[in-house]
Structure 1
């Protein structure tokens, strides 16, 4: 009986560790390189900063933004975001429009080495980013 309890405890602990490790994979600052197949130039400051306690912030290319997020396995749900209201022109305005159009559609994420990919519920790639 003690052996069964011991094995069960190890199994449950390892499951919690795996979930925690997946949550940790998304944490940090990520430079956005692509939004819905539109390449974002290196000089454009568009990034995600996934922080502890489910806080998300960053820059959409022109304005700073903030939101909250929840991770469950490889799923990530991003809340309605708020942002500063600087006036943006030209391509920066286009990138920002695409950024905020895509952000609420994020449903799942994958990380591989220093790369983050955010997908829609249907599996469409919404964002690609690299660890900053």
Structure 2
């Protein structure tokens, strides 16, 4: 993945999107940097501390809020690991080859849609959560 293409598409997409702030832009740019630094991978597997340091964000709440919003707005797909020793996966959805994205989605069912409610665990339905409680 060439970092210029997704960055260019991101800026075109957010030009008239009033919901996007400089914090969102910083996180997106930091993610692109990390992806390129690791061989232009999509998804990029990163820890929040790495992105927060690069994007100059100090509050975990702000970081999580911005990632959640960019997922809702369709700029990223965020698949948290929920484990401190395992990096989360973040997919770029703009400027990304759709054939590759379809392949990733088939291989990882958690990627198809990410809309977790507070307390949910990725990949578990409501019935499974209740039976495990």
Both structures adopt the same fold (TM-score exceeding 0.5): no
Greater percentage in helix? 2
Greater percentage in strand? 1
- TM-score normalized with structure 2 length: 0.31
- Larger C-alpha radius of gyration, 1 or 2? 1
